[in-house]
Chains A and B, each alone.
Chain A
Amino acid sequence: QKEVEQNSGPLSVPEGAIASLNCTYSDRVSQSFFWYRQYSGKSPELIMSIYSNGDKEDGRFTAQLNKASQYVSLLIRDSQPSDSATYLCAVNRASGTYKYIFGTGTRLKVLA
C-alpha cells in the first residue's frame, strides 16, 4: 500500500468551476497535511496546511481533513486557467525529523 495516494489525473474542469482534489494516506500517526502546487519544471509551492479535522479556508482554497478516514482533500473554487498545475499532497508525523511523504500528485487542467 502506498503511503500517500493521489489520482494522477488529469482532472479537467471548466473555468469558474470547483476543482476537487483528493488524497489518502496510510500512516495513522500522520499529524500534518499539506497541499503544494507544482508547475512543470518548477519547485513545489505551499498552498495550504491543515492539522485538525474539518475544513480550513484560504481565499479560493479549502482544505478538508478526516483523520478517521485518513483522507484529505483540496477544493479550488472559481478555477482559473492559471490554476492548471500538478497538486501534491504531503504528510508528516509532526515529530522526529518532520520529513514529508509526498503523493505522486494530481494534474489539474482548467479549460478556458
Chain B
Amino acid sequence: EPEVTQTPSHQVTQMGQEVILRCVPISNHLYFYWYRQILGQKVEFLVSFYNNEISEKSEIFDDQFSVERPDGSNFTLKIRSTKLEDSAMYFCASKLTVTSYEQYFGPGTRLTVT
C-alpha cells in the first residue's frame, strides 16, 4: 500500500542552524501539506502546496520557513535559522485530487533544537 515517507526520523540541531526535512508523498497525489505538533499539543497546519506553489500558509509559517518540490518525488521543508520553539514533530501529508478530502500522513520527523 502506498505511503508517505519522511526523512530523517529524528533531527537534532543547534539553535540558529538550518535544517531541511524531507518528504516523499504518495506518488499520484497532487496536494501536499506540512503540519507540526509540539509535544503535548495539537497538530497545527503550516503550509499547503499545489501545482508547484504555496496555496496557503499559517501564521506560524514565517520567513524562516520555506517549502520546495525540487523534483517529481520529494517535498521539503526548510527552516533557515532554527529556534528552541521549533522543536516539534513535523508531519508531511498528501492528498490525491481536488475532489478527495482525505489526507495521508507520513511518520513524522522529530526536530530537537538545542
Contacts and interface: CB of A to CB of B under 8 A. Distances in A.
Interface of A: 31-32, 34, 36, 42-46, 49, 51, 88, 90, 92, 94, 96-105
A98 B44 CA distance: 14
6 contacts: A34-B101, A43-B89, A88-B43, A102-B44, A104-B41, A104-B42
Interface of B is mostly: strand
B101 A45 contact: no
Interface string B35-50: 1000001111100101
Contacts of A101: 45
A97 B106 contact: no
A21 to B, nearest CB: 15
B105 A44 contact: yes
A98 B106 contact: no
Given A34-B102, A43-B106, A46-B105, 4 more contacts: A43-B105, A90-B43, A98-B95, A104-B42
Interface string B16-53: 00000000000000010101000001111100101000
Interface residues of B, number: 23
B101 A92 contact: yes
A102 B43 contact: yes
Contacts of B104: 46
Contacts of A100: 33, 35, 43, 45, 103
